[in-house]
Amino acid sequence: MATRKFEILLTQGAEQDLESIYDHIAEFDCQANADHVLDRLLEVVESLSTFPERGAYPKELIALGIRDYRQTAFKPYRVIYRVIGRKAYIYVIADGRRDLQSLLARRLLGA
Full-model pTM: 0.90
What pLDDT is recorded for position 104?
85
Strand order in the sheet with 87-95: 7-10, 87-95, 77-84, 70-74
Q: Tell how many helices (H) and how many strands (E) occur in the chain.
A: 4, 4
Q: What are phi and psi of 21, to 5 degrees?
A: -60, -50
d(CA 60, CA 36): 28
Q: What do you get for the CA distance between the two ends of the chain, in Å? A: 44
pLDDT tens track, the chain, 111 positions: 456 799 999 999 999 999 999 999 999 999 999 999 999 999 999 999 999 999 999 999 998 899 999 999 999 999 999 999 999 999 999 998 888 888 888 888 775
What pLDDT is recorded for position 106?
84
